[in-house]
Structure 1
């Protein structure tokens, strides 16, 4: 572990040479797991201010879920996460013509409709940020779905 200011960084982050292989995993991290993508408190406002611009880039199922609920919820630990469909997909997940999952938030950003690219937890994955006392701990998350990376 390396300490830098209020951040603890796992040395495993430097040892791993991770490159996402979407052709192999098809974006499984957007659908697998116990909860949606972790969100920071400040990201709620960024998504909320852009939600109307993001909606055209969401799936019909995602839009229906958004209408019935919110785009975020608290998990069993009280952490903020994106809401998920009953089938597991993140509310913002969209499939392309090859059935590879993408992100409606990121697609809206790429189209120049928003200034927020996507949640930091998605952007940095497989690096996860956790609070440890007063520190932010950056750890490498090992997951079977990323085996091909």
Structure 2
């Protein structure tokens, strides 16, 4: 366990390797889950505000689901989450026609400069999951056993630790100083092996 400020990270975050392999998984993390992507309360407000701007990036059937369910829903276990279509695919997703890869409509709008919100932090940090405790956050590495096998293989082949693959999202969530501290700790841990 690694402790930095109020954040407790599992050793797997620095010891395991991971690099998304979209050609193999086809963005399955947006399709298959217990519920939609977890959202912070702040993110629910942001998404509600930007929804009119991202609506055009989404398939009509997903827009219909958002109109029916709302821009977010409540899950008994995870709290605020993105709505899903028939308990499966996230309604903010779309499928690229030429590749069959499922991607995020919010992120596409962000890349196009239409909105300044990239996507929910829980999506950006995947396969890291954060659990809130009493005054602390638990950060765990939780790839899906079958879906993420290609990403685990690619990470090992390229020798990219999870925390390095997720450098941008970790800095977005916790800041540059946090990441620099984590990197220094990881170098010590991985160097001692």
In the alignment, structure 2 segments of 5+ residues that lack a partner are 152-193
Q: How many residues align?
A: 149
CA distance in 1, matches of 2:63, 2:132: 32
What is the CA deviation profile of residues 85-126 of structure 1, one whole-angstrom value per residue up to 9, with x for unaligned ones? 016110101000121100010011011100000000010100
Quote the residue 1:129 is aligned against.
Answer: 130
Quote the residue 2:118 is aligned against.
Answer: 117
Q: Secondary structure at the match of 1:148?
A: helix
Task: Judge conservation of contact 1:39–1:82 (CA < 8 Å) in 2.
Answer: yes
State the TM-score, normalized to the length of structure 1: 0.96
After the TM superposition, which parts of structure 1 deviate over 4 Å for at least 4 consecutive aligned residues?
none
Task: Judge conservation of contact 2:35–2:87 (CA < 8 Å) in 1.
Answer: no
CA distance in 2, matches of 1:78, 1:116: 21
CA distance in 2, matches of 1:112, 1:78: 30
Instruction: State the 1:78 CA deviation.
Output: 5.5
In the alignment, structure 1 segments of 5+ residues that lack a partner are none
Task: Judge conservation of contact 1:71–1:91 (CA < 8 Å) in 2.
Answer: no
How large is the Cα RMSD of the aligned pairs?
A: 1.1
Structure showing the higher helix proportion among its residues: 2
What is the CA deviation profile of residues 32-60 of structure 1, one whole-angstrom value per residue up to 9, with x for unaligned ones? 01100011111111111211111011111
Instruction: State the 1:145 CA deviation.
Output: 0.6
State the TM-score, normalized to the length of structure 2: 0.75
Quote the residue 2:88 is aligned against.
Answer: 88
Task: Judge conservation of contact 2:38–2:78 (CA < 8 Å) in 1.
Answer: no
